[in-house]
C-alpha cells in the first residue's frame, strides 16, 4: 500500500499563498552595504525605482496575474528583520571584517519595512514603481525582481503534470551538474552566485548554490544572497551597484559635477569600507570615459567589476590602464558578472589566467537555466532581461549609459546630454539576453 | 540545509483539483452485487436517488462551495472502470466464490459512467438528485456521500496551520489505535470496515483500514470498499441494502404485493447469489413485521443484518425467531452495522458471545472520528447523518420505515400507508448521530 503523510497533504492542498520572499535578507548583500551608506550619508535623498522589462516580446501583464503579484508584494511588505537575522548580521564576519554594520544602522534596520508600491498595466507590461526616500526604495530592487521572475516560472509550470515537472527539474539538475563538472577543470577558479534577482525560484537557487558548494568546493567563494549565505554557511559577496553613480549624477548641478559624480561616490564608499570591498564599477557612463578621467587613487582600489563590456575586451582595457598607472595587474582583481555562461567563464578564465586575479559572479545562467529541460519548449521558462533601476533622484531623471547601448536607461534627451559629456568611446552593441 | 523535492512542491502548490473519487470501485462492494442483479432483472426500472441531510443544524450549502462540489461530481462522472479493476473483478474470489460477476455484466460495467446529477440549494442545504434508470443511478449513492463528507472536512481544515493539522491527525491516529487495542481483547471478534460513505477522507479511511489490518490481524475480515480491498489485499465485504425492498415496495400495485415485496426481492437475490451472501436485511419496514410475515425459507438464510434496532434487543428478537423456526442460532450469523462505536461493539460481543455467530460492520465511528482531536472544537469535523436514498421508482414514491422512526424516509402520506400495512411494533426512537 501507499503511505501518505495526511497532514502534509491536507496542508499543501489548502495552500493560499506560497510566499516568494520570506525574509528581508533574501536579497543581495551589496544592497545592505549600499543601504548603510545611503542611511549614513544620503538619508534625505529621494529615489524612485522602476521595473523595466527589456524583453518586450514577453508581455508580463498577460503572463502574471495581477492579484498574485499584489499578494506577493504585500507579503514582502509584511516582513521585518528577525532576531536571528539581526544577530547574524551583527556577529558575522563579512569580507574578513567584523561589525561591518554599525549598531545604529542595525537598530534602524530592525524596524525597516519595504515601502509602498505603485502598480498598473500598460501595453501588456506592468508599471511597477517605488517612490520615496532612497534609503527605503532601494531595498525593493531584488525582491521585486525575484517576485516577478518566480511568478512567471510558476505561471509557466502551472498546467504541467507531476512527471513533466519531475523530469524538468531532473534535467535542469543534470544540466547544472555538467556545468559544475566543466568548471571543476579550472584549477584556480573563483566563482560565486549572483543569481538572486532573476532566479527561477528561491528553492531552485538554493539547490544550485548547494550544488556548487558540494561540486566546486573552496573555488565556490560564496553567494550574493544574504539568506542563503546565512543558512548554508557561505560567504556573502558583493559590493556596490550602478545606483550609486546614477543617483550622484542625477543630483549634479553642473556638467563638471556630473563628470566628477562617479568618483565622488567612490570617495564616500572608501570612507565607509575598505580592502576587498574597494571594487570599482566602471561602466555606468562608459568604461572608456571612466578610465580616461579617473584620478590616480582609483588605481589603488582592489579591483574592477566590468559589467557590460565583452569580458575579454573589457578586461584588457582595464589591465592596460593599470599598467599605464604603474600597477601590477597580478595584484589586482577583475570580477566578471555580465550574463555569464559556462563558455564565457572558461574562455575568460583561460584568456587571463596568470595575468590578473579573477572572480566570476554567476547570475541568471546559474539560477534560471531551463533551456531544453521541458518536453516541449515553454517560453515562460526562458529568463528575460528585467531590471529595477533608479529612474529619478530628488525629482531629477537618472541615467545609465553602460558599455552596451542596449543596457542604457533613462530619458532619451538626458541620455544624449550624458553622451555629450562622457563620450561614446568603446560602447559596443551586444544582444541582452539576461 | 533543508532539502526539498522541488517538483513535488511545485506540483502540490499548483493543484487545481484534488479528486475525492478517483475510481469507480471506490464504492461499497454491495453496490456491485446489487448492480448486477438490477442489470439482470430490472434493467428498465427507473429510480431516483436523493441526498438527505438528517443533521439539519449543519447547513451544508453554507459549508461546502457549490463550485467545488460540482467539480468533484463532474470528475467522478469522468471515471471509467480501468483494465486493472476489470481484471481484478473478473479474477478475484468474493465470499469464496469465483466469477461472481458474469462476463456480460462486466462488459456492460466497462462502459459504465455515473449519470447526470441535479444540484440546487434550498434553505442552506443542497438538493442533490439523480434521475434515471436504477441501474445507472444506484451507483451514485456512495461517491455522492463520500464527496459531500470529504468536502466538508476539507472546508473545516482549510484555515488551519501545518502544526495544527499535524496534531489533529496525530491525535486521531492515537485515538484510533486505542480502539484497536480495546478490540484486540475480544478473542473471536470479526469486524470489517463499512466506513466509505461517511469517511473523513479517502486517505484517512485507507489509514484506518491499514491500521486495523495490522492491529487486529485475521479478526479484521475485510472492507466494504472495493478499491481498498483490491489495493490492500483484503476481502471485499457486504451484501445488499434497503434500496432493494424499497424499490420493490414502491413498484407494488396492491397492498398484498407490497407486503410480499421484501421477500420477493430476497428470492431474486437467492437466484443470483447463495451461501454467505444470503444475509437478510430485516428493518426496511420494521423487523417485527418482517419476522412476523417471513416465509419458512427465510430461516435457511445464513444470517441477518439488523441495521436500525438497538443491537442487543434487535439481535435477541432475531435469535428468538430462529429458535421459534427450529434453527440453531449458533449456526447463524448476525451482522451489526448501525452507528457502532467501540463500547457498543464490546457490549454486543460480550452479550451474544457463544450464542450466535457475529460480525461487526464498523462505519462512521471508524473512519470519521475526530472528536476531541482539534485544539478547539471544529464542528465541521463532527460527522453528520447524511444519506442518499431511493426517493421514487418508476415515478412512485419510495419509503423506508426502519426500526428507528428517525431513520424513516419518504413522503409522510406514504409512510402512513406503509405503517398501516406493516405495523409499528418494536419501533424505537433513537438519536441518529451518524
Say yes or no: A115 and A264 in one domain.
no
Residues of A in contact with B159 (CB under 8 A): 14
Residues of A in contact with B206 (CB under 8 A): 1, 4
Contact of B259 with B53, CB cutoff 8 Å: no
In a domain, B384, yes or no: no
* Phi, psi values for residue A14, rounded to 5°: -100, 15
The helix-helix angle for B243-251 and B255-272 (nearest 10°) equals 140
CA-nearest of B153, B117, B45, B79 to B386 is B153
Q: Classify residue B217 by burial, with Cβ atoms within 10 Å: 0-12, 13-18, 19+.
A: exposed
Could you report the per-residue pLDDT of A205-241, keeping only the tens digit for each? 999 999 999 999 999 999 999 999 999 999 999 999 9
In a domain, B409, yes or no: no
Q: Which of A1, A6, A14 sits opposite B231 (nearest CB)?
A: A1
In a domain, B73, yes or no: yes
Say yes or no: A187 and A139 in one domain.
no
pLDDT at A291 over 80: yes
Contact of B209 with B64, CB cutoff 8 Å: no
The predicted pLDDT at position B276 comes to: 87
Say yes or no: B312 and B176 in one domain.
yes
Q: Which of B168, B203, B210 sits opposite A9 (nearest CB)?
A: B203
In a domain, A414, yes or no: no
**Is the CB of A207 less than 8 angstroms away from the CB of B6?**
yes
In a domain, B427, yes or no: no
- Which residues of A lie inside 8 Å of B (Cβ-Cβ)? 1-2, 4, 6-15, 18, 154, 157-162, 165-166, 168-170, 201, 203-204, 206-207, 210, 231-232
Q: Which of B4, B5, B6, B227 to mutate to test the interface with A (most CBs of A within 10 A)?
A: B6
Helix count and strand count (H, E) for chain A: 18, 11
Distance (Å, rounded) from C-alpha B382 to C-alpha B434?
A: 9
- Give the domain range for residue B60: 6-160+390-397
The predicted pLDDT at position A276 comes to: 87
Say yes or no: B47 and B77 in one domain.
yes
Contact of A138 with A243, CB cutoff 8 Å: yes
Residues of A in contact with B207 (CB under 8 A): 6
Say yes or no: A151 and A209 in one domain.
no
Residues of A in contact with B232 (CB under 8 A): 1
CA-nearest of B53, B27, B30, B26 to B387 is B53
Q: How far is CA B213 from CA A375, B97, B177, B216, B366, in A?
A: 42, 22, 12, 6, 13
Distance (Å, rounded) from C-alpha B361 to C-alpha B347?
A: 15
Question: In the predicted model, what is the mean pLDDT of residues A350-368?
Answer: 97
Residues of A in contact with B152 (CB under 8 A): none
pLDDT at A119 over 90: yes
Q: How far is CA B368 from CA B23, B55, B345, in A?
A: 21, 15, 17
Does the interface ipTM go beyond 0.85?
Answer: no
The predicted pLDDT at position A50 comes to: 98
In a domain, B376, yes or no: no
Say yes or no: B33 and B131 in one domain.
yes
Per-residue HEC secondary structure of A18-66 comes to CCCCCCCCCCEHHHHHHHHHHHHHCCCCEEEEEEEECCCCCCHHHHCCH
Say yes or no: B43 and B131 in one domain.
yes
Average pLDDT for runs of 10 along chain B of length 434: 80 84 98 98 98 96 97 98 94 93 97 98 97 98 98 93 91 94 95 97 96 94 97 95 98 96 97 92 96 97 94 96 97 95 97 97 96 92 96 97 93 94 87 78
CA-nearest of A360, A399, A407, A427 to A55 is A407
Residues 6+ apart with CB under 8 A from A354: A330
Looking at residue B197, the DSSP 8-state letter turns out to be T
Question: In the predicted model, what is the mean pLDDT of residues A306-335?
Answer: 96
- How many independent structural domains does chain B possess? 2
Distance (Å, rounded) from C-alpha B311 to C-alpha A96?
A: 79
Looking at residue A398, the DSSP 8-state letter turns out to be P
**Is the CB of B11 less than 8 angstroms away from the CB of A154?**
no
pLDDT at A379 over 70: yes
CATH number at residue B272: 3.20.140.10
Helix count and strand count (H, E) for chain B: 18, 11
Neighbour count for residue A264 (Cβ, 10 Å): 15
At residue B302, the 3 state secondary structure works out as coil
Residues 6+ apart with CB under 8 A from B84: none
pLDDT at A2 over 90: no
- From A160's Cα to the closest Cα of chain B, the distance in A is 8
Whole-prediction pTM: 0.82
Question: In the predicted model, what is the mean pLDDT of residues A324-338?
Answer: 96
Which residue on chain B is closest to A153 by alpha carbon? Answer: B10
Say yes or no: B193 and B293 in one domain.
yes
pLDDT at A14 over 80: no
Residues of A in contact with B158 (CB under 8 A): 14
Residues of B in contact with A4 (CB under 8 A): 203, 206
Strand duo B220-223 + B191-193: pairing: parallel
Say yes or no: A236 and A278 in one domain.
yes
In a domain, A422, yes or no: no
Say yes or no: A34 and A103 in one domain.
yes
The predicted pLDDT at position A1 comes to: 58
CB pairs under 8 A between A and B: 81
Say yes or no: B184 and B298 in one domain.
yes
Say yes or no: B146 and B244 in one domain.
no
The predicted pLDDT at position A326 comes to: 97
In a domain, B58, yes or no: yes
The predicted pLDDT at position B1 comes to: 58
Amino acid at each position: 500500500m501507499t503511505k501518505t503523510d495526511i497532514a502534509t497533504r491536507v496542508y499543501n492542498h489548502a495552500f493560499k499563498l506560497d510566499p516568494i520572499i520570506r525574509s528581508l535578507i533574501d536579497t543581495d548583500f551589496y544592497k545592505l552595504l549600499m543601504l548603510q551608506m545611503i542611511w549614513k550619508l544620503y538619508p534625505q535623498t529621494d529615489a524612485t525605482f522602476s521595473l523595466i522589462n527589456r524583453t518586450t516580446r514577453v508581455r508580463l501583464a498577460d503572463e502574471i496575474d495581477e492579484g498574485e503579484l499584489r499578494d506577493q508584494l504585500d507579503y514582502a511588505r509584511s516582513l521585518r528583520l528577525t532576531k536571528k537575522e539581526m544577530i547574524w548580521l551583527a556577529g558575522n564576519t563579512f569580507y574578513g571584517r567584523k561589525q561591518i554594520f554599525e549598531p545604529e544602522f542595525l537598530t534602524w534596520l530592525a524596524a525597516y519595512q519595504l515601502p509602498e508600491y505603485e502598480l498598473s498595466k500598460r501595453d501588456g507590461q506592468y508599471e511597477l514603481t517605488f517612490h520615496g526616500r532612497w534609503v527605503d526604495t532601494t531595498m525593493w530592487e531584488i525582491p521585486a525582481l525575484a517576485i516577478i521572475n518566480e511568478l512567471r516560472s510558476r505561471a509557466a509550470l502551472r498546467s504541467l503534470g507531476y512527471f513533466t515537472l519531475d523530469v524538468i527539474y531532473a534535467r535542469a539538475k543534470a544540466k547544472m551538474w555538467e556545468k559544475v563538472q566543466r568548471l571543476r577543470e579550472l584549477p584556480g577558479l573563483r566563482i560565486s552566485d549572483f543569481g538572486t534577482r532573476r532566479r527561477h525560484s528561491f528553492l531552485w537557487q538554493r539547490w544550485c548554490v548547494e550544488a556548487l558548494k558540494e561540486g566546486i568546493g573552496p573555488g565556490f567563494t560564496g553567494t550574493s544572497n544574504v539568506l542563503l549565505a546565512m543558512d548554508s554557511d557561505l560567504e556573502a559577496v558583493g559590493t556596490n551597484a550602478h545606483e550609486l553613480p546614477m543617483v550622484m549624477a542625477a543630483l549634479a548641478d553642473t556638467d563638471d559635477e556630473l563628470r566628477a559624480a562617479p568618483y565622488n561616490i567612490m570617495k564616500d564608499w572608501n570612507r565607509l569600507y575598505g580592502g576587498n570591498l574597494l571594487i570599482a564599477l566602471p561602466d555606468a557612463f562608459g568604461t572608456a570615459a571612466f578610465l580616461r578621467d579617473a584620478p590616480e587613487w582609483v588605481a589603488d582600489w582592489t579591483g574592477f567589476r566590468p559589467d557590460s563590456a565583452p569580458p575579454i575586451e573589457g578586461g584588457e582595457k582595464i589591465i592596460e590602464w593599470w599598467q599605464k598607472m604603474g600597477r601590477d595587474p597580478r595584484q589586482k582583481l577583475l570580477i566578471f558578472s555580465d550574463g555569464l555562461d559556462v563558455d564565457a567563464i572558461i574562455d575568460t578564465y583561460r584568456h587571463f589566467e596568470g595575468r590578473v586575479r579573477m572572480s566570476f559572479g554567476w547570475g541568471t545562467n546559474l539560477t534560471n537555466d531551463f533551456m531544453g529541460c521541458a518536453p516541449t519548449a515553454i517560453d515562460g521558462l526562458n529568463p528575460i532581461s528585467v531590471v529595477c533601476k533608479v529612474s529619478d533622484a530628488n525629482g531629477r531623471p537618472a541615467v545609465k549609459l553602460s558599455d552596451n547601448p542596449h543596457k542604457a536607461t533613462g530619458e532619451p534627451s538626458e541620455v544624449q546630454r550624458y553622451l555629450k559629456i562622457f563620450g561614446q568611446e568603446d560602447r559596443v552593441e551586444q544582444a541582452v539576453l539576461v
